[in-house]
Structure 1
Amino acid sequence: MKFRVDRDAFADAVAWTARALPARPAAPVLAGMRVEAAEDGLRLSGFDYEVSTRARVDADIEETGEVLVSGRLLAEIARSLPAEPVELHTDAARALLTCGSARFTLLTLPLEDYPVLPEMPGSAGSVPADRFAAAVRQVAPAAGRDDTLPMLTGVHLAFRGDALTLAATDRYRVAVRRMWWRPEDPALSASALVPARTLHDFARSLPSGGNVGVALSTLPLGEAAKSSRGEGMIGFDTGSRRTTSRLIDSDFIDYEPRFPAEAAARAEVPVAAMAEAVRRVALVADRSTPLRLSFTEGEVVLEAGSGDDAQAAEALSVAYRGEPMRVAFAPGYFLDGLGGVGTETAWLDFTLPTKPVVVSEVPAEEGADPDFRYLVMPLRVS
C-alpha cells in the first residue's frame, strides 16, 4: 500500500474518524484505525461495536491495500505534522509515514482480527446540515449523563412526515426542537433514541452547507415499517463521511404533558443581555447556590448569594405581563436554555414559582408555535 495525500485533509479526516475509538477498548484491535488505499481514494474507519465512523479523502493512490494502526497515535501524529503532503506506505509489519522532514514508523495491528463494520441502514431522508447541527446543539445539553439510566442519556428523534422533532431530558429539564426535513416516504412515522454524546460529536463536525442523509433501521415489512422505534441502528451520511450508531433500546418519556397548557405570566427577555447578566451574578454562586430572579413590570432583578457569603445583584429591563414572580434556578441549567434560543429575544412562561418554567424562541409569525422549547424545574428557596 502506498499513497500521497494533502496534510490538512488527512489530519481532519483522521481526527474525525478517531472520535469513535474507545478510550478503554475491550480488545486491542478496537483501538485501531483501518487505513485503506482504494481506487476511489483514501478510506479511514473506526469501530467499537457501538459506533462506527468512516471518512473518504481524495488522494494519489500508487498502490492499493489496507493496514490497521493505533488510531489515537495516528491522530496525534496527523495534527502535529508540518504543512507538507503526507506519504504513507507499508513495509512488512510496519507503516511508514513521511511528511516533509518528519518520519514516523508505526506498528500495525492484525487486520484479520478487526470486526466487520456494519452496513448503513436504509435511507429515510435528508436534512440540511447547518440546521441539523444547530438543533443538536440546542437539545443535547439537556440529556442526562448517568449511564445507569440509559434512556436519559439519549436524544430522541421523532420522524413524522416532513417534521423532525429532537428531544432530550435529564428529569430536571426537557429540551425540544422541531424542524423540517425531507423524508423518502411522506408517510414515515418512526423514532430513534440516539446516544447524545455520539450525536453531538457527529453534529459538531458537520461541514457548513449541504445535506445530511439519515438512515434508519425499521421493521422490515408492511405497515409496521412506518411506525417502528427504529430499532437497532441509525446512520448519518454527508457524502465523504458517515457514521452509524446502535440505538438505546428503551422507550422515551412522554414529555408533552409536562409542558403547561397555559401561562399565568410571561416575560420577553433579550437573550444575549440576560445570559451575560446571569454569568456575572453567578460568579458568587457555587454548585448549591441558586440564582434568584424577581420579575415585575418592565424589570427583572437577578440575585445570588446571601448572609455571610459573597453576594451579587443586577437589574435588567424586560417586557413582563402578569403578577410579580420570583423564581430560582441552577445557573447552568438556565444558561443552557438561553443558549438554545436562536432568536434575539426569548419568552419565559410561568405558572407558579414552584412549577416548571418554559424558555422558548419568539416565533417570527404571530400565533405560531415556537420551534425550540426548554422546560426547566425551578429550585425551592426560603
Structure 2
Amino acid sequence: MKFRVERDVLADAVAWAARSLPVRPSVPVLAGLLIDASDEGLVLSTFDYETSARATLTAQVSDEGRALVSGRLLADICRSLPNKPVEMVLDGSRVSLTCGSARFSLQTMPVEDYPSLPDMPAATGTVASDVFAHAVAQAVTAAGRDDMLPVLTGVRIEIDGSTISLLATDRFRLSHRELDWSPRSPDESAAALVPARVLGDTAKSLTAGGEVTIALATTGSGEGIIGFEGQAPGGTRRTTTRLLDGEFPKVRSLFPAEHQTTALVDKAALIESVKRVALVAERNTAVQLAFSDGVLTLDAGSGDEAQASESIEATVTGEDITTGFNPQFLLDGLSAIDQPVVELAFTQASKPVVLSGSVADGERDTSFRYLLMPRRLLS
C-alpha cells in the first residue's frame, strides 16, 4: 500500500471517521481505523458493531492495499502535520507516514480480525444538510441521557410523505420538530428510533455538502439500520447506526389542543432573567413564574436561604397563572427556539407548558414545540 494525499483532505476525513471510535473497545481492533487504498481512491472506515463511519477521498494511489492503525493516534498526528502533501506506505507490519520533514512509523493491527462494515440501505430520500442539522439539534435537547432507559436516549424519526417528524423525551420534557424533505416516493412512510448522540453528531458533521441522503431499513421488530450520506471536501461521508430496540412512548397526544393562558415574552430577556434568578435556586428546586397583567415575575429561593425576584414585560392573554420549572430545562427549551419572541401556552398551573416561537401577528411557529413538566413549588 502506497499513496499520496493532501494534508487537509486527509486530516478532515480521519477526524470525521475517528470521532465514532469507542472509548473502551471490547476488542483491541475496534480502536482501529481501516485504510483501504485502491484505484478508485482512499476509503477510511471505523466500526464498533453499533455505528459505522466511512469516508472516501481522492488520492494518488501507487500500490493498492489495506492497513489497520490506531484511529485516535492517526487523528492526532494528522491534525498536527504541516500543510504539505502526506505520503503513507505499508512496510511489513508498520505504516510509515511522511509529511515534509516529519516522519511517523505506526504499528498495524491484524486487518483480517476487523469486522466488515454493514451495507448502506437503499436511499429513502434527501434533506437540506443545514436544515437537518439545525432540526436535529433542536430535537435532541429533550432526549434522555439515562442508559437505564435506553428507549428514551433515542430520537424517534417519523417519515410521512414529504414531512419528517423528530420526537424526543426524557419524561420531564418533550420536543417535537417537523421539517420538509424530498422522499424517494411521495407516499413514503416509516419510523425509526435512532440514538440521539449519534444522530446529533452525524447531522452536525454532514453540513459541508448541500444535502444529506437518509437511508432507512427496518424489519418492523426494531432490528434495523439507518444510514446518512453527505458530501465533504475531497469525497463522501457515510455513516450507519443500528436502531434502538423498544417501543417509544406515544407522546403526541400530550400536546394540548387548547390553552387557558398564553404569554408572549422576549426570548433574550427571559433567558437572562432565568439565569440570574436561578443563581439562588437550590439544586433540583424550581424557579417560579407568575404571569399577570403585562408582567412576568420570576422568583427563586425560599425560607432562610438566599432569594431572588425579577419582573419582565409579557403579553398575557387569559387567566393569571403561577407555576414553576426546572431552570435548566426551561433554558434548554428557550435556547432551542429560533424566533426572538416565545409563546408560553398553559392549560393550568399543574399541567405542562408548551413553548414555541412566535412569528408576525402573534401566530405561533408550530415547526418546533417544546413541552415542559412543571416542578412543585416550595412554599
Q: TM-score range by the shorter chain?
A: over 0.9
SS at match of 1:371: strand
Q: Which residue of 2 aligns with 1:67?
A: 67
Q: CA deviation at 1:207?
A: 2.0
| Contact 1:363–1:370, Cα closer than 8 Å, also in 2 | no
Alpha-carbon shift at residue 229 of structure 1 (Å)? 7.2
Show the counterpart of 1:205: 205
Residue 258 (structure 2) pairs with residue 249 (structure 1): no
Match of 1:76 in 2: 76
Whole-angstrom distance in 2 between the partners of 1:285 and 1:16: 40
**Total equivalences in the alignment:** 374
Q: What is the CA-CA distance between 1:243 and the residue it aligns to?
A: 0.4
Task: Give the C-alpha shift of residue 171 in structure 1.
Answer: 0.7
Q: What is the CA distance between 1:241 and its match in structure 2?
A: 0.3
- CA shift digits 1:136-175 (9 cap, x unpaired): 1001121111112111010000000111000000111110
Write the mapping of 1:34-49 to structure 2, written as runs, cut at 5 A. 34-49=34-49
- Whole-Å separation in 2 of the counterparts to 1:311 and 1:87: 63
- One-letter amino acid matched to 2:196: A
Residue by residue over 1:91-136, the C-alpha shift from the partner in whole angstroms, topping out at 9 and shown as x without a partner, is 1100111223322111000000100100001111111111110011
Relative distance call for 1:310 and 1:10 in structure 2 (3 A) is farther
Q: 1:170/1:264 Cα in 2 relative to 1: closer, same or farther (>3 Å)?
A: same
CA deviations over 1:10-65 (Å, ceiling 9, x no partner): 22211111122111111111110001222232211000000000012222222222
Alignment TM-score, normalising by the size of structure 2: 0.94
Partner of 2:271: 275
Distance 1:181 1:375 in 2: 24
With 195-204 and 228-237 compared, the bigger mean Cα shift is at 228-237
Counterparts of residues 169-184 of structure 1 (less than 5 Å): 169-184=169-184
Q: Does the 8 A contact of 1:155 with 1:168 survive in 2?
A: yes
* SS in structure 2 of the partner of residue 74 of structure 1: helix
Q: Amino acid of the residue matched to residue 82 of structure 2? A: P
Partner of 1:294: 290
Letter in 1 for 2:228: F
Query: Take 1:282 and 1:229, find their aligned partners in 2: how far apart are those partners?
Result: 44
Contact 1:192 1:229 survives alignment (8 Å): no
Matches within 5 A, 1:50-199: 50-199=50-199
User: Aligned ranges for residues 360-375 of structure 1 at < 5 Å?
Assistant: 360-363=356-359, 370-375=366-371
Partner of 1:312: 308
- CA offset at residue 365 of structure 1? 8.2
Residues 128, 181 of structure 1: 8 Å contact kept: yes
* Aligned twin of 2:230: 238
Change (3 A) 1:256 1:41: same
CA distance in 1: counterparts of 2:313 and 2:44, whole angstroms: 53
Percent sequence identity is: 52
**Residue pair 1:192, 1:231 contacting (<8 A) in 2 also:** no
Counterpart residue number, 1:331? 327
Q: 2:138 is aligned with what amino acid?
A: Q
Q: Is 2:348 the partner of 1:352?
A: yes
State the SS of the aligned residue for 2:350.
Answer: coil
Q: 1:293 Cα shift?
A: 1.4
> What amino acid is aligned across from residue 3 of structure 2 in structure 1?
F
Cα distance in 2 for partners of 1:101, 1:269 equals: 60
What is the rounded CA distance, in whole Å, between the counterparts of 1:161 and 1:124 in structure 2? 11
Q: CA deviation at 1:4?
A: 2.0
Alpha-carbon RMSD across the aligned residues, in angstroms, is: 1.8
| 8 Å Cα contact 1:191/1:230 also seen in 2 | no
Q: State whether structure 2 residue 281 is matched by structure 1 residue 285.
A: yes
The separation in 1 between residues aligned to 2:34 and 2:358, in whole angstroms, is: 47
CA distance in 2, matches of 1:82, 1:134: 33
- Judge which range, 149-158 or 298-307, deviates more: 298-307
C-alpha spacing 1:360/1:88, structure 2 compared with 1 (3 Å): same
Deviation of 1:177 (Å): 0.1
Shift of 1:367: 6.2
Which AA in structure 1 matches 2:310? E
State whether structure 2 residue 24 is matched by structure 1 residue 24: yes
Equivalent pair of 2:141/2:336 in contact (CA under 8 Å): no
Q: CA deviation at 1:230?
A: 7.0
Separation (CA, whole Å) in 2 of partners of 1:209 and 1:263: 42
